[in-house]
Structure 1
Amino acid sequence: MSSPAVTRRAAQKAKIQTRSKATGGVPQRPKSSGGLMEAKRRARQRISNSGKRNSDTQTLRDPYQTTMEAIEVVRGATGLIYDRQMAQHKCLWDENYPECPARLTCILDRCQELKLMDRCLTIDPKTATKEQILLKHTEEHYDTLKGTSRSTDEVALEDLSSHYDAIYIHPTTFELSLLSVGSTVELVNAVAEGTVQNGMAIIRPPGHHAMKAEFNGYCFFNNVAIAAEEVLLRGDIERILIVDWDIHHGQGTQRMFYDDPRVLYFSIHRFEHGAFWPNLRESDFDWVGEGAGRGFNFNLPLNQIGMTDADYLAIFQQVLMPVATEFSPNLVILSAGYDSALGDEKGEMEITPAGYAHLLSPLMSLAGGKIAVILEGGYCLRSLAEGAALTLKTLLGDPCPNIEPLAPPCDSVQETILNCISVQRKYWKSLQIHRTYGLEEVNNINPQRELHQVTTVFKGSTERPEKFDTRNCYPIQDQECVRRNDERLQRLELSTNLRVAPKRVCFVYDEAMAEHKNDFEVHPECPARITKIYERFGEYGTIDRMHRVGSRQATLEELHLVHSPVHVKLMKECVQRKDLEAFGERYNSVYFHNSTWTCATLAAGSVLQVVDEVVNGDSQSGICVVRPPGHHAESDLPHGFCIFNNIAIAAEYAVRNHGLRRVLIVDWDVHHGNGTQHIFENRPDVLYVSLHRYDYGNFFPKGTDGDFSEVGSGAGEGFNVNIPWNRKGMGDAEYTAAFFSIIMPIAYEFNPELVLVSAGFDAAIGDPLGGCKVSPEAYGHFTHWLSSLANGRIIVCLEGGYNVNSISYAMTMCSKALLGDPLPPLCNRELSSSCVETIQNVVSVQQKYWKCLKFTKKLPDFVGGDVGDLSELVRGMKIKDEPCDSDSTNERKGGGAEPQPGPSSSRGDATKDHQSLSDYLAENATALANEEMFAVVPLKNCPHLTLLDPSQAPTEINTFAPCEVCTSAVENWICLHCFRTLCGRYVGEHMLYHHLDTEHPLTLSYSDLSVWCYKCESYIDNPMLYKYKNMAHVCKFGGEEMVWPYGDTQFTLETTK
C-alpha cells in the first residue's frame, strides 16, 4: 500500500492553515506569524534603500487578479458584414473564370438556409477611403485601378489585366475593391473595440495576394493588411496574429509585415517546392522575417496534394497554437480561403467543411476571443459554402461537428512541420520540446532515421512573362473527379451533426454533500470546497446562465458498475460504526462520517444525472460540483479521500446505458488517478489520460503506476496515457505544452463520443498539497480546447483541490469557458527542462500506439533562423566533420528514400591559405587518439567500382568548386563517373538528384575525401579510389601527395607541426 498523502493530523503537520468555523466548517484566514511580518518589513526596507523601485517590486500582483478581472467579461455578439453588390465583379471575357460572383452568393444562401444570419449582429458595409488604401499601397497603384472605374472598353480592361498575374478587371472592380477593404476595416474595428465579440466578413474581391504596388491573384487591395495596419495605428491593439489558411501563399500580406514584430503572420499553403502558384522562393519555411520581425513570419509549405484534416490539425497542434499562445495576441485576423477544401480544383486538398470548425475553435481561446474572419479564396462552390457556413456557426458558439476518423498525418507534413520548428525554435520558448543533435552525432550514429534533416528545394521559376494569360488560365477537373467529390461532400453534409442542444451548460450541486466532513481533525478535504465554488458561481453570474439539474443518489446497481459488491456493502454499513476514526485509519488517506454513504452515493448519482442530460442532448455540456471526490477509489477499496469512483462510474454508465463506444477521461488532478487507471487499464473503449505530479514515484499515491511507461494491458494497451511531472512548480506553460503535444493529438485520433474531465484543481497556484502553479484561467483554456471534441459533449467533474479560493476561481473559469465567454491570456514563461523530458518520454512510448505522435525526430542544433545559417557555421568548423550515411533522406524524385552523405565543409575561395595535412592532424590529435573520427567503417569492396574509368578522370580536382546547380560552397561532392560538382543533403541535395537521374553511384566528398556509394548505401575505401582521392588531396592540402594507405606496411602520422 502506498504512503498516505494526508494521514491523521497530517494536515496540521504539513502546516495547512485551515480552521473550521463551528457552524459551517468554512476555513479561516491564518494569522500571520511575527517572523513572517518582520521578514517582509526588512525586504521592503532593502528595496527602499537600494532605490530599485522597478515594475517588479512596486506592485505585488494578486495571483487571482486576472481571473477577478474577468468577472464581468461575458460573450458578446457575432458580427456579420456583407454586401450583395460585390457579386457584380466578374470576368467579362471568360464566363468560366473561377473567381466568380457565385462564390459570394452561395455562402450567403447557405448561411441563410441554416438560419445563421438571424443570430448575428449585422454591420453595415462601408467604402474605404483613399487614405486607408495608402496605408499599404502606393498612390500609383490606387490611381491605376481608379482609372478603370466604369470603363466600357472591354479590350482595354483585358489588356491591362494581362499585365498582372491572375487578374481580371471589371468596370465595378475599383468601387467593389474599396467596399471590400472598407467592410474588412469595419469588422476588424468592431471586434477590436469590443462592439462585437467576433465576426465574419463575406466579401470579394479577396486581398491577401495584393502587394504594395501590384495587383495579383484575383486581389487588388490587401483587405487584411490595411485593416491590421489601421487598428495598430490607433494604438488600441499591440499584437495581431494573422492566420492565413488559403491554399495559396499570401505573399502580399507577408511582405507588408515582414519586419514588423507587432504582427505574427502564419500561412499554411500548397507549395510543392515552388512548383505551385505563386511559385515564390519566399513562400518556403525558412523565410522567417527580417530585422525586428525576425521569427514573426511562419510559412508551413505543403509539398504534396491530398492533405487532410489530420495534417492541418497537426500543424495547429505542433506549431501554431503553442506559438500563438506564447505570442498572446490582442486580436486574431483569419484570412479564410476555402480552396484547401475537399473538391477544390486549385488546392486539390481534402479538408472537410467540418474540419474548418476544428481549426477555428482553438483560435477562439486567444486574444480574449477577439477574432475576425475575412473571406479570401475557395472555388468549389459546394465545399466553399459549407466550410464558410460552419465557420460562422463556430463563431456563434455552436459545438464543432464531429469529423471523419483521422488518418495519420502524412510524411510530407511531418517534414514541413519539423523544418519549420527547426528554423523557428531559436525565437520561441514554446518550440523547445524536441531533442536535438549536433554534427558529432551525425558522424557517430548510423542509421540516421531519427535525425531530421533540414533541406530546401526550389522548383519554381523566377521568369516573368511580358503578359499573362487572361482566358482559360486555370485548372479544370474532369467530370469523374467532380462527381466523386460531389458525392462525398453530399455524404458529409448528411452525416454532419449540426444540432445544438437547447441548453448550453447544465450543472449539479447539492449542499447535502457538505455533510461529509472529518469530525476528528482539521482536514483539507472539507465542505467549503463545494460551497465556495457555488458561492463563486453566484458572484460571477454563471448560476443564472446554466441549467441546474436535480441531484440523486446512485443505486447499488450503478455503484456495482465499477465497484465490487463487498466494497459497496462495507461502505454502506461502516457509517453505523462507533469507531469511525479508527476504521478510517485502515485505509490510505480516508476519513468517514455518519453521512459519508449518503454524500458519496449522492456525488456519484449526481454525476450520472449530468451524463443523462448531456448524452440525451438536453444540454451541450455539464459541470458537477460534487464531493467526496472519486478518482483514487479502487474497485474494491476507498483511497485518497475517495469513497466511490464518480468518473469511472459515469464512464461505464455512458458505455452500458447509452451505448457509447468511445469515452475519453482527462484527469488533470495533481495526483495520479490510480483508481480510474486500474478500472479501465484493459479497456479500449475508455481512453484515460492523466497529468499529475509524480516525482519519480515519490508523490502521492506513490509507486510506479503513474509513470509514463504504464500504457494499459491486454486489449487496453495504448489506451492509458500518463504524463508524470517529476518536479514541483509546473504551471500554465508546461500544461499547455502537454495539451498540444500529447493530449489533443491523441484525443482527436481516438475520436471520443463523450469527454469526462476529472477536474482536480490541486495543481492550481496556492494549493497546499500540489506545489504547482497553474492559473485558474488556464483551466478555462483546457476546457475550451477539449470542448471541440465529441460534438461539444464534455462534463467537468470536481475531484481534488484544497485551496478554496483557487478551486472556486478555477471551476468558475471552466464554467465560463463552456458558456463561451472570452478567456484571459495565459502566462508565458520558459518550459522547465523537467517538463520537456517528461513530454519526450511520454511521446517516445505512446507513439507506438498513436500515429499522430510522429513528430519525434531529433532536430539539428546547428540550424538557426535560416537554413543559410548553416553555411557560416560549417565554414567556421574547417574540416573537422566526418560524414555518415543516412536512411532518412527526404523522398523526392522517384519516391526513393536514398541516404546522403553527412555534413561536410569546404571553402569556396580557392585563393585562401591551404591547411596542411599535418596542421589538420594536429588540430584533431585528441579526436584521433580517441578514435572519434573513425566511427563509420567503410566497405573494402564494392561491385560498382568496376564502373569507374580512370582513363577518363581529369588531371586535377578542384575541391573548392561550387555546386553547379545552386553555387553553394558549403558541402560539395564530385561524381566519380561524370565529374560534376554538386552539393550534399544539408544544402540542396543536388548530388542525390543527380544519382536518381543518372544512376551514377560513386561520389567523393570534398570535405574529408570519403567516397559514398548510393547503391550500396555505404562508404567505400578501396585502392582503386586512390587516384581520385589523391587529386583531391593535392588540391585540398596545398600540393601534398596523399600517403598510400592500402599497403601491408604500418605507418605513423605526425600529430604536431
Structure 2
Amino acid sequence: MSSPAVTRRAAQKAKIQTRSKATGGVPQRPKSSGGLMEAKRRARQRISNSGKRNSDTQTLRDPYQTTMEAIEVVRGATGLIYDRQMAQHKCLWDENYPECPARLTCILDRCQELKLMDRCLTIDPKTATKEQILLKHTEEHYDTLKGTSRSTDEVALEDLSSHYDAIYIHPTTFELSLLSVGSTVELVNAVAEGTVQNGMAIIRPPGHHAMKAEFNGYCFFNNVAIAAEEVLLRGDIERILIVDWDIHHGQGTQRMFYDDPRVLYFSIHRFEHGAFWPNLRESDFDWVGEGAGRGFNFNLPLNQIGMTDADYLAIFQQVLMPVATEFSPNLVILSAGYDSALGDEKGEMEITPAGYAHLLSPLMSLAGGKIAVILEGGYCLRSLAEGAALTLKTLLGDPCPNIEPLAPPCESVQETILNCISVQRKYWKSLQIHRTYGLEEVNNINPQRELHQVTTVFKGSTERPEKFDTRNCYPIQDQECVRRNDERLQRLELSTNLRVAPKRVCFVYDEAMAEHKNDFEVHPECPARITKIYERFGEYGTIDRMHRVGSRQATLEELHLVHSPEHVKLMKECVQRKDLEAFGERYNSVYFHNSTWTCATLAAGSVLQVVDEVVNGDSQSGICVVRPPGHHAESDLPHGFCIFNNIAIAAEYAVRNHGLRRVLIVDWDVHHGNGTQHIFENRPDVLYVSLHRYDYGNFFPKGTDGDFSEVGSGAGEGFNVNIPWNRKGMGDAEYTAAFFSIIMPIAYEFNPELVLVSAGFDAAIGDPLGGCKVSPEAYGHFTHWLSSLANGRIIVCLEGGYNVNSISYAMTMCSKALLGDPLPPLCNRELSSSCVETIQNVVSVQQKYWKCLKFTKKLPDFVGGDVGDLSDLVRGMKITDEPCDSDSTNERKGGGAEPQPGPSSSRGDATKDHQSLSDYLAENATALANEEMFAVVPLKNCPHLTLLDPSQAPTEINTFAPCEVCTSAVENWICLHCFRTLCGRYVGEHMLYHHLDTEHPLTLSYSDLSVWCYKCESYIDNPMLYKYKNMAHVCKFGGEEMVWPYGDTQFTLETTK
C-alpha cells in the first residue's frame, strides 16, 4: 500500500496551470460535427473547382474525422442465402459418401430451431452466368461439367469422376454448382454494397479446392474466388481478406490469388507435413505468395490431430488478427468449413461449436463489419449444424457463448506459428515483436531451447494415379469414437449458454455528478467530462438505442467492501470543512468540494446499478458515465482525482453479492491504476490488467508499482499484469499489439464471468496529460474484442481523460461497439521499438503464470519467405579445412562409395595434397578481419572427462546409426556416457534434451568427430577421447585408423557467411 503522498501546493498548482495553458484551459465546446464536416466539404470543393492544387497546400486531416464520419453508420441486417434444391446433389454409387445432402439440411433445420432465420434478411438465390465462371476457370473446365447436365449414364458419370481427385458428379451437379456460385456472388455483392451488414451462404457443392481447370475435393467451381474477383473488378472494393478455416487447404483459392496483393489469403488446415490431403508442398508455411503478391499468402499448417479451441485462438491472436488489422481489408470473406470441429472424421480436431463464434467475432471488427461467410466442408452432422448455427448467431450480433477452459497451445501449433511468423515478418510491421538471433548465436550459444529453428519436412507424394477411387475412399470412425464424440457434443450443447439479454446495452448517467468541481482554480478533472459524453451520445443517436438505468448512491456497507471505515468516515465528514482547499493539499492530486461526498458515492452506486443490470441478465452490457474517477483511490486514502475506487467496489460487489468466481479488470487509462492493483494484488479471483504510460517510473503516479515485474503477491501472484509504456506517443498500433500479444490470450485463459473496463481516455489523441495518440475508434475496437469474453457481459466505466472532445468521441465509439455498429479501420503504422521492448518484457515475466504465452523463442533474422530448411542452411555454412558433404554418410551407407573426406587429420586418400592451416588462414584473412569467419579453439582439459569410463565403451561405433527418437540420419551424435545415438540441435535437439534429462555432458559428433561438453559449453580435444574418436573414424572411413593427432594444436573453423 502506498503512503499518503503530500504534494506541495506550489508544485501542484504549477503543474495544472502549465497543462491548462497548453490546451487553453478547459476545452470549449466545439462547433457541431455536422457544421465542421460541411465546412471541410466546401473547402475541398473549392480546391477541386480550381483545377489544381497550390504546391504549398497541405491537406490536414482532423484527428476525429474518422469518428465523425461514423455518426450515421449503424448496424445493418444480416443476410442469409440458401436453396433447398442444393440437397439434390448426391453420390449415386455410394450412399455413405460424406459430402451428402444432409450437410445442408441439418444446418437449415438447426437455424430454424434456434429461430435465427426469422431474424435474417433472406436473399434470393441466383444462378451464376458463364461469364462469371470464366472469371476464374477455363472454358473447357466449364464445358466439361456442362456436358454432364441431366445425364442418366451413371457409369459415364462415375468414370468421369474417377479422373479427378475426390469428386462425384450427379445429373444436377452442373446446375447446382452454378447456383452455389451465383448465391455466393449475390451475398458477397450485398455485403460489399451495404445492402446487408454481413451474411451467410449455406450452400453446396463447396468450392475452395476447385482450380482453374480441375475439379477437386468435392468442388467444381470456386465460389469464393469468383465472388471475390467480381467485386474487385467492379472497383468498389480494393482489399479482400479471405480466411479459410476448413480443415483441408484451399489450394484452389490460393493459386487463384497467389500473385495478387489485393487479396490476403489466410488458411488454417491440417497438413501433417504433407501426409494429409491434398498432400501438397504448397500448403506449407513457407509458401507466401509470389511477385506483387509476396507476403499476401498465409498458410498455418497443422501437423498433428487433436487441435483445440486454444490452438486456433493462438493462431488468430498471434498471427491472423495483427496482420489482418494491418492489411485493413474493405471486405472479409470466410471460407467456413466445419471439418475441424469435434467429431469430424476427416479433420480429427476438437474445435467446439461455440469455438467458431470466438473465431468469427474478432473478424467482425474488420472492414467496417463487412463479412460474408460461405459454407465449405464439415462432415460430422451434429457439430456441423451447431457450429454453423452459432456462426450465424454471432453474425446477428448475439454474444459469444462461453467455451470450455483452455489448455495451453500445443507444441506443434507453437512451432507452426513461429515458423509462419519467421517467414512473414519481413512483410508485416505487426509481426516485428519477437526477439531475433543471428548465425553467431547459432554457432556459439548452448543450450538453444530459446532459439526457434525453422524447418520444413514434407511427407507427401507427387504421384498421381491414372484414376482415383470413387467408392469407400474416405475415413470411417469406429462406433466407440462416434459414441464418445456424440456424448461430448451433447454435453456441450446442454452447457452452452445461448441466452440473449432483452436489452443489448444499458448506461447510467446523472448530471448531479457534475456538481463535484474545483472552485479554487481551473482543473482538468471538470464537470464537462461527463456532460460532453452525454451530449455526444445524443448527437450520435446511441442514447436512444441504450437502456438508461437509474443512479443511486453507494451505501456505507458497499463502500466498505474495499475501503477502510476510517477513509469512508473522513470523506463523508470533509464536506463540512471550511478549509477544503488546504484539506486537498494533504493528498496527491486531489481536490474537494461540498458536493464531493454526494458525487463520489453516486458514482460508485451508479456503477453497482449497472453491475446488477448486467449480471442479472437484464442487459447484455453496460456503460457508466460517472465521476469522480476511481482507479487511483487506495483502500485508505484518496489519490489522483479519485475519492472511492468505483471499479474495485464493483468487482468486489460482483464477487460477494452475485457469487462470481472470476472478474477481469482491464484498465486502459494512461495512468497506472495503483489503487485497484493494491486492493486486489493478493486475490486470484480478480485479474487486473493495466496498460499505462510509465516512463521508467517517472510518470504519474510514479514509483515502481506500475512496472511489468509487479505480478501480485501470495494467492494473487500472476493475477496482476502491468503493460508499462516507457515513452510518449503510443497509438493504435502499439495498443493493438498489446491486446493480441498479451491481453486477449491471458483473458481467454482466465475465462472471466464479468469484464470491467477502467476506461480512462487520457491516452487518446489530443489529451493534455497523456501524451499518447490512441484514436477514438481504437477504443471501440478494444471494447469489441473484450466483448467476446464472459458471454458478452462487459461494463465500460469512465476513469480519466481530460480533452472533452477525445473522451466524448471515444466513449461514444465504445457504445457503438457494444451496440454492434461497424467500426472504422485503425491507424496503420510501424510499432515503436519501446513498445516491442515492453511487450517482450511483460511476456517474459508473465509466461511463468499463463500457459498461453508460449511464443517467446527468438526467431532467426536470416530466414526469408523462400527458405525452406534452416537446418540445411546452417549445416551448409559449417566448414572444416576441406569441404564435407553433409549427405555423404547417407550416400556411402547406401551404395558403398569411397569414403568422403572428414574433419580429422587422416584422409581416405593419403596421396592427396593438403592445404595447411596457416595457408588457409592467410587466404581468408579478409573474412577473419570482417568477422565473417572465426576460429574456435577446443578446450584441452575438461573436468567432466573424469566421468568417462573407457572400460564400458562399446567395441565399435556405428556412425550411420539413426537418431533413436526421430530416426533422422542427419547430424547425429553419440553420448559418451551411455552411448545412445541422438540428433543434434539443427534437427530435433534430442541429444540436448537427453543431456538435460540425464546430465550426461560429453557427446561426439558423427559428422566431424568433434566432442562437445554441454556443461562447459565448449568443444573438447584431449587424448582421453582418442579411443572414442578412433572407433568412429574406423566406421566412417572404411576401416582406416585415425592418426594420433595430439602433438599439434587443432582448430575447428566455422563461418557465418
Q: In structure 2, do the counterparts of structure 1 residues 947 and 719 end up closer, same or farther at CA, with 3 Å as the change threshold?
A: closer
CA contact (8 A) 1:232 1:238 kept: yes
Residue number in structure 2 paired with 1:400: 400
Q: Give the whole-Å Cα distance in 2 for the aligned partners of 1:617 and 1:480.
A: 40
Structure 1 residue 864: Cα displacement: 1.2
Q: Give the whole-Å Cα distance in 2 for the aligned partners of 1:897 and 1:958.
A: 17
Q: Bigger shift: 2-11 or 643-652? A: 2-11
Cα distance per residue 1:686-710 (max 9 Å; x no partner): 0000000000000000000000000
Residue number in structure 1 paired with 2:759: 759
Cα distance per residue 1:162-181 (max 9 Å; x no partner): 01110100000000000000
Q: Bigger shift: 399-408 or 1044-1053? A: 1044-1053
Cα distance per residue 1:813-870 (max 9 Å; x no partner): 0000000000000011111110000000000010000000011011111111122486
Q: Give the whole-Å Cα distance in 2 for the aligned partners of 1:436 and 1:751.
A: 32
CA contact (8 A) 1:167 1:219 kept: yes
In the alignment, does 2:554 pair up with 1:554?
A: yes
Cα distance per residue 1:214-267 (max 9 Å; x no partner): 100000000000100111111111100000000000010011111111110000
Q: In structure 2, do the counterparts of structure 1 residues 404 and 466 end up closer, same or farther at CA, with 3 Å as the change threshold?
A: same
Q: In structure 2, do the counterparts of structure 1 residues 484 and 958 end up closer, same or farther at CA, with 3 Å as the change threshold?
A: closer
CA contact (8 A) 1:509 1:624 kept: yes
Q: Give the whole-Å Cα distance in 1 for the aligned partners of 2:896 and 2:107.
A: 43
CA contact (8 A) 1:448 1:886 kept: no
Q: For 1:723, what is the secondary structure of its paired residue?
A: strand
Structure 1 residue 768: Cα displacement: 0.4
Structure 1 residue 428: Cα displacement: 0.5
Cα distance per residue 1:884-908 (max 9 Å; x no partner): 9999999999999999999999999
Q: Bigger shift: 460-469 or 998-1007? A: 998-1007
Q: In structure 2, do the counterparts of structure 1 residues 597 and 335 end up closer, same or farther at CA, with 3 Å as the change threshold?
A: same
Q: Give the whole-Å Cα distance in 2 for the aligned partners of 1:928 and 1:207.
A: 57
For structure 2, the residue ranges without an aligned partner over 5 or more in a row are none
Structure 1 residue 528: Cα displacement: 0.3
Q: In structure 2, do the counterparts of structure 1 residues 1008 and 80 end up closer, same or farther at CA, with 3 Å as the change threshold?
A: same
CA contact (8 A) 1:901 1:984 kept: no
In the alignment, does 2:349 pair up with 1:349?
A: yes
Q: Give the whole-Å Cα distance in 2 for the aligned partners of 1:312 and 1:1055.
A: 40
Cα distance per residue 1:987-1007 (max 9 Å; x no partner): 899999999999999998799
Q: Give the whole-Å Cα distance in 2 for the aligned partners of 1:793 and 1:900.
A: 69
Q: Give the whole-Å Cα distance in 2 for the aligned partners of 1:701 and 1:999.
A: 48
Q: Bigger shift: 1013-1022 or 842-851? A: 1013-1022
Aligned residues: CA RMSD: 7.2
CA contact (8 A) 1:94 1:472 kept: yes
Cα distance per residue 1:579-608 (max 9 Å; x no partner): 000000000000000000000000000000
Matches for 1:181-192 after TM superposition, within 5 Å: 181-192=181-192
CA contact (8 A) 1:904 1:1007 kept: no
CA contact (8 A) 1:443 1:935 kept: no
Residue number in structure 2 paired with 1:413: 413
Q: In structure 2, do the counterparts of structure 1 residues 568 and 281 end up closer, same or farther at CA, with 3 Å as the change threshold?
A: same
Q: Bigger shift: 995-1004 or 666-675? A: 995-1004
CA contact (8 A) 1:247 1:340 kept: yes
Q: In structure 2, do the counterparts of structure 1 residues 622 and 920 end up closer, same or farther at CA, with 3 Å as the change threshold?
A: farther
Residue number in structure 2 paired with 1:243: 243
Structure 1 residue 1047: Cα displacement: 2.9
Q: Give the whole-Å Cα distance in 1 for the aligned partners of 2:73 and 2:272.
A: 45
Q: Give the whole-Å Cα distance in 1 for the aligned partners of 2:964 and 2:573.
A: 87
Structure 1 residue 1046: Cα displacement: 1.5
CA contact (8 A) 2:903 2:1009 kept: no
Cα distance per residue 1:639-659 (max 9 Å; x no partner): 000000000000000000000
Cα distance per residue 1:965-990 (max 9 Å; x no partner): 99999999999999999997658999
Cα distance per residue 1:336-391 (max 9 Å; x no partner): 00000000000000000000000000000000000000000000000000000000
Q: In structure 2, do the counterparts of structure 1 residues 711 and 997 end up closer, same or farther at CA, with 3 Å as the change threshold?
A: closer
Q: For 1:1044, what is the secondary structure of its paired residue?
A: coil
Cα distance per residue 1:755-779 (max 9 Å; x no partner): 0000000000000000000000000
Structure 1 residue 1050: Cα displacement: 10
Q: In structure 2, do the counterparts of structure 1 residues 7 and 899 end up closer, same or farther at CA, with 3 Å as the change threshold?
A: farther
CA contact (8 A) 2:454 2:871 kept: no
Q: In structure 2, do the counterparts of structure 1 residues 813 and 31 end up closer, same or farther at CA, with 3 Å as the change threshold?
A: closer
Q: Give the whole-Å Cα distance in 1 for the aligned partners of 2:990 and 2:4.
A: 63
State percent identity of aligned pairs. 100
Residue number in structure 2 paired with 1:390: 390
In the alignment, does 2:687 pair up with 1:683?
A: no
Residue number in structure 1 paired with 2:28: 28
Structure 1 residue 717: Cα displacement: 0.5
Structure 1 residue 935: Cα displacement: 10
CA contact (8 A) 1:444 1:935 kept: no
Q: In structure 2, do the counterparts of structure 1 residues 1001 and 271 end up closer, same or farther at CA, with 3 Å as the change threshold?
A: farther
Matches for 1:652-731 after TM superposition, within 5 Å: 652-731=652-731
Q: Give the whole-Å Cα distance in 1 for the aligned partners of 2:379 and 2:42.
A: 69
CA contact (8 A) 1:446 1:886 kept: no
CA contact (8 A) 2:693 2:699 kept: yes
Structure 1 residue 1043: Cα displacement: 9.7
Q: Bigger shift: 754-763 or 868-877? A: 868-877
Report the TM-score when normalising by structure 1: 0.87
CA contact (8 A) 2:878 2:1055 kept: no
Q: In structure 2, do the counterparts of structure 1 residues 939 and 758 end up closer, same or farther at CA, with 3 Å as the change threshold?
A: same
CA contact (8 A) 1:922 1:1056 kept: no
Residue number in structure 2 paired with 1:800: 800
Q: Give the whole-Å Cα distance in 1 for the aligned partners of 2:260 and 2:38.
A: 48
Q: Give the whole-Å Cα distance in 1 for the aligned partners of 2:536 and 2:32.
A: 26
Q: In structure 2, do the counterparts of structure 1 residues 1014 and 187 end up closer, same or farther at CA, with 3 Å as the change threshold?
A: farther
Q: In structure 2, do the counterparts of structure 1 residues 509 and 893 end up closer, same or farther at CA, with 3 Å as the change threshold?
A: farther
Q: Bigger shift: 295-304 or 1014-1023? A: 1014-1023
CA contact (8 A) 1:921 1:1056 kept: no
Structure 1 residue 444: Cα displacement: 2.0
Residue number in structure 1 paired with 2:168: 168
CA contact (8 A) 2:935 2:1051 kept: no
Structure 1 residue 52: Cα displacement: 13
Q: For 2:933, what is the secondary structure of its paired residue?
A: helix
Q: Give the whole-Å Cα distance in 2 for the aligned partners of 1:36 and 1:160.
A: 66
Q: In structure 2, do the counterparts of structure 1 residues 161 and 505 end up closer, same or farther at CA, with 3 Å as the change threshold?
A: same
Q: For 1:545, what is the secondary structure of its paired residue?
A: coil
Q: For 2:879, what is the secondary structure of its paired residue?
A: coil
Q: In structure 2, do the counterparts of structure 1 residues 7 and 666 end up closer, same or farther at CA, with 3 Å as the change threshold?
A: same
Q: In structure 2, do the counterparts of structure 1 residues 55 and 796 end up closer, same or farther at CA, with 3 Å as the change threshold?
A: farther
Structure 1 residue 404: Cα displacement: 0.5
Cα distance per residue 1:25-47 (max 9 Å; x no partner): 97438999999999999999999
Q: In structure 2, do the counterparts of structure 1 residues 790 and 992 end up closer, same or farther at CA, with 3 Å as the change threshold?
A: closer
For structure 1, the residue ranges without an aligned partner over 5 or more in a row are none
Q: Give the whole-Å Cα distance in 1 for the aligned partners of 2:350 and 2:15.
A: 58
Q: For 1:893, what is the secondary structure of its paired residue?
A: helix
CA contact (8 A) 1:894 1:996 kept: no
Cα distance per residue 1:892-934 (max 9 Å; x no partner): 9999999999999999999999986435434777999999999
Structure 1 residue 445: Cα displacement: 1.5
Q: For 2:936, what is the secondary structure of its paired residue?
A: coil
Structure 1 residue 1010: Cα displacement: 3.5
CA contact (8 A) 1:908 1:969 kept: no
Q: Give the whole-Å Cα distance in 1 for the aligned partners of 2:371 and 2:779.
A: 21
Structure 1 residue 443: Cα displacement: 1.9
Structure 1 residue 137: Cα displacement: 0.6
Structure 1 residue 959: Cα displacement: 15
Q: In structure 2, do the counterparts of structure 1 residues 450 and 592 end up closer, same or farther at CA, with 3 Å as the change threshold?
A: same
Q: For 1:442, what is the secondary structure of its paired residue?
A: helix
Cα distance per residue 1:25-80 (max 9 Å; x no partner): 97438999999999999999999999997999620100000000100000000000
Q: Give the whole-Å Cα distance in 1 for the aligned partners of 2:973 and 2:208.
A: 42
Structure 1 residue 2: Cα displacement: 8.1
CA contact (8 A) 1:90 1:99 kept: yes
Q: Bigger shift: 635-644 or 1027-1036? A: 1027-1036
Structure 1 residue 442: Cα displacement: 1.5
CA contact (8 A) 1:863 1:869 kept: no
Residue number in structure 2 paired with 1:812: 812
